[in-house]
A and B are shown apart, each in its own frame.
Chain A
Amino acid sequence: MTEFLQQLINGLALGSILALIALGYTMVYGILRFINFAHGDIFMLGAFAGFYLTPKIAKIFPTPSILSGLVVMAIAMAICAIIGIVIERFAYRPLRQNPKLTVLITAIGVSLFLEYTGQFVFGAAPKRFPELIPSYPIANIGSLSLNSNQIIVLAVTLALLLALRFIVLKTKIGAAMRALSFNPEAAALMGINTDVVISFTFALGSALAAAAGILFAVNYPAIDPLMGILPGLKAFVAAVLGGIGNLPGAALGGLIIGVTETLVAGYISSTYRDAIAFAILILILLVKPSGLLGKKEIEKV
């Protein structure tokens, strides 16, 4: 029983990080109907931003501590938000009228570009992410082990989710985002500046990915330029699972993927771990393509 609980906790922690990344995917898809392949690499950039920022911040604030953790995360989020805006502006915006596949290829190109540039600039060898947030074992009940890092992941994810919910539901720009995802042409006719809203969406998604990157690096302190590929793909599956375009769905999807993957790897077979996410994807697309919380979209002729 304790083993199951342990696996569950592990899965939830992993799933929260996936959820944060998935939110970025789903927001962009909701508005632009396109999968930003490079999103996973923003996650990686967030982690590296944290890597380079931490020693600098350590000179100002006491490190490791919650305070320095928050500061580093905030700055990393800002940096990645800017990167997200830049990518959108130069690689995706010019292609808005092109067929979706063109943009998809471009996104793949951007993703490869970020990965190889990362290998060039940061070096291919994994780097030790510095201790940003102090980590204590929290509980050791029988053979169940809980670590403070896992609690922090869950707490920060929750906080960011609530913040996102507030932005989307209670602010003007959030309303604009929702309007755009509903009907882009009508939104433009209503006087909404499409470009600004789209840039904002990318910024928001990228910021969340950066936060996920920092949380991930705190928990798994070996970072490398290719670290974003697999979490990125799994997060995409999570977004689809929850219903692409649906924010709570993405969060839910992330948690489900995290838990499922951990349980399957622990109980059934760890060899097929990477394939689990894809199997879930294929399954959900066969059974309920609109996802768990999504609405069925009928293509009008």
Chain B
Amino acid sequence: MNFKYAKTFLLGAIALCFLVSLFENKINSYRLFILYDIGINIILAVSLNLINGYTGQFSLGHAGFMAVGAYAAAVITNQFGELNSFVSGVIFPGALLAGGLLAAVAGLLVGIPTLRLRGDYLAIVTLGFGEIIRVIFQNMERVGGARGLSITHGWTNLFWTFSLAAVTIYLVTALVHSTYGRGFIAVRDDEIAASAMGINATKYKVTAFVVGAFFAGIAGGLYAHSKQFLTPGGFGFMESISIVVMVILGGMGNTTGVIIAAILLTLLPEELRRLSSIEHLPGITKEFPLSWIGNIRMIIYSLLLVVLMLTRPQGIFAFRKSASAK
């Protein structure tokens, strides 16, 4: 397999990100941070896609891994961010990396006990792990518990966000399309048959969790340095579900679809927000409570989920053949 060109493209993409980030201060602040959110969600969705989509392990606790990465990176930059100018330069990627690695360890701790589980059980257990992680952070005084943690340095920018997104896409895709990666898909398609063929299902399942968690941790670190404030409640079940919806919408195992879904699902609420501003809706008087619109938005969101499953469960963007067909 010839990696030479792929790596060139990766470096090219990173260079492009660097160039674009030079114009950052020309972009409206609100939209700029939405771009960060898009990049972060792409990383989250692609990393979850590896676990859910390619390996078929239904994980509902992805936000927990994100939390680990977020808090770890935050603590590091808060602590060491101002040591000296050299450190300041490298501390951010270092903190992100550390966050990712710690999240990977969490992935290992979640992946191993869940080996024997399938489908629904696995889903609930991962949800449980996500909640346990949240409760642990809620009780950790060091990171402020429910009172939250402020992050001093808002170092996330377009360069880091999108080049890391590019790296994530590259690594996950490279992993899955490699010979090694066939194992993931084999485990998803039929675990027993795969084991009968000599594939060590355990190894693949755990690898999926570890790699997926690693990138979720990186996304968490980027998130922490974008919002600059963390609370354990921000990494709960609902957050995990919203990442899962991105993967489902995009089509499990379809990286392009998942990326597009991540972008759309980040932008859609913002579009709806503009629409639900009272000034912009014709025929709505001032007395129409704003909370109605907020509620209706969520009701429609949940209905769409059901309708999507009933009509097109393979995802909206499944016009590209998924990897297993190649």
Direct contact of A and B (CB under 8 A): yes
Cα A275 to Cα B136 in complex, Å, equals: 9
Whether A301 lies near B303 (C-beta < 8 A) is no
Shortest Cβ distance from B247 into chain A, in angstroms? 10
Shortest Cβ distance from B312 into chain A, in angstroms? 10
Q: Is A144 an interface residue (CB 8 A)?
A: no
Query: Within residues 261 to 291 of chain A, which ones have a CB less than 8 A from any CB in chain B?
Result: 271-272, 274-275, 277-279, 281-282, 285-286, 289
Q: Is A220 an interface residue (CB 8 A)?
A: no
Residue count of chain A within 8 Å CB distance of chain B: 45
Cα A33 to Cα B119 in complex, Å, equals: 10
Query: Within residues 67 to 123 of chain A, which ones have a CB less than 8 A from any CB in chain B?
Result: 91, 94-95, 98-106, 108-113, 116-117, 119-120
Shortest Cβ distance from A184 into chain B, in angstroms? 17
Cα A116 to Cα B293 in complex, Å, equals: 11
Whether B124 lies near A35 (C-beta < 8 A) is yes
- The residue in chain A whose Cβ has the minimal distance to the Cβ of B136 is A275
**Max chain A Cβ within 10 angstroms of own Cβ: one of B135, B291, B292, B304:** B135
Cα A94 to Cα B181 in complex, Å, equals: 34
Q: Is B296 an interface residue (CB 8 A)?
A: yes
In the assembled complex, which residues on chain A have CB atoms less than 8 Å from the CB atom of B306? 91, 106, 109-110, 113
Q: Specify the main secondary structure of chain A where it touches its partner.
A: helix
Cα A274 to Cα B131 in complex, Å, equals: 8
Whether A278 lies near B129 (C-beta < 8 A) is yes
Q: Is B174 an interface residue (CB 8 A)?
A: no
In the assembled complex, which residues on chain A have CB atoms less than 8 Å from the CB atom of B296? 120
Q: Is B295 an interface residue (CB 8 A)?
A: yes
Whether A236 lies near B124 (C-beta < 8 A) is yes
Known: A95-B310, A101-B119, A286-B113. A272 touches B299 (CB 8 A): no
In the assembled complex, which residues on chain B have CB atoms less than 8 Å from the CB atom of A111? 302
In the assembled complex, which residues on chain A have CB atoms less than 8 Å from the CB atom of B124? 35, 233, 236-237, 240, 281
Whether A109 lies near B58 (C-beta < 8 A) is no
- The residue in chain A whose Cβ has the minimal distance to the Cβ of B138 is A271
Cα A113 to Cα B300 in complex, Å, equals: 8
Query: Within residues 15 to 41 of chain A, which ones have a CB less than 8 A from any CB in chain B?
Result: 29, 33-35
Q: Is B241 an interface residue (CB 8 A)?
A: yes
**Max chain B Cβ within 10 angstroms of own Cβ: one of A100, A233, A278, A299:** A278
In the assembled complex, which residues on chain B have CB atoms less than 8 Å from the CB atom of A29? 120
Q: Is B20 an interface residue (CB 8 A)?
A: no
Whether A119 lies near B295 (C-beta < 8 A) is yes
Q: Specify the main secondary structure of chain B where it touches its partner.
A: helix
Whether B301 lies near A112 (C-beta < 8 A) is yes
Q: Is B298 an interface residue (CB 8 A)?
A: yes
Whether A105 lies near B244 (C-beta < 8 A) is yes
Q: Is B116 an interface residue (CB 8 A)?
A: yes
* Cβ-defined partner of B131 (8 Å) among A98, A120, A275: A275
Whether B121 lies near A100 (C-beta < 8 A) is no
Cα A99 to Cα B299 in complex, Å, equals: 25
In the assembled complex, which residues on chain A have CB atoms less than 8 Å from the CB atom of B301? 112
Q: Is B275 an interface residue (CB 8 A)?
A: no
Cα A101 to Cα B113 in complex, Å, equals: 20
* Cβ-defined partner of A282 (8 Å) among B129, B302, B303: B129
**Max chain B Cβ within 10 angstroms of own Cβ: one of A34, A102, A111, A237:** A102
Q: Is B305 an interface residue (CB 8 A)?
A: yes
Known: A35-B120, A104-B58, A278-B128. A116 touches B310 (CB 8 A): no
Shortest Cβ distance from A250 into chain B, in angstroms? 15
- The residue in chain B whose Cβ has the minimal distance to the Cβ of A98 is B313
In the assembled complex, which residues on chain B have CB atoms less than 8 Å from the CB atom of A108? 241, 305
Q: Is B272 an interface residue (CB 8 A)?
A: no
* Cβ-defined partner of B116 (8 Å) among A104, A113, A289: A289
Whether B309 lies near A109 (C-beta < 8 A) is yes
Whether A116 lies near B119 (C-beta < 8 A) is no
Shortest Cβ distance from B130 into chain A, in angstroms? 9
Binary per-residue interface labels of chain A (229-252) against chain B in the complex, 1 for a CB within 8 Å, 0 otherwise: 000010011001000000000000
Shortest Cβ distance from A235 into chain B, in angstroms? 12
A-B residue pairs, 5 tightest by C-beta = A278-B128, A109-B305, A112-B302, A109-B306, A113-B302
Q: Can you report 21 A-B residue pairs in the complex whose CB atoms are below 8 A from each other?
A: A35-B120, A35-B123, A98-B309, A100-B120, A101-B119, A105-B244, A105-B313, A106-B305, A108-B305, A112-B241, A113-B306, A233-B124, A272-B135, A272-B139, A275-B132, A278-B128, A281-B124, A282-B125, A299-B192, A301-B193, A301-B196
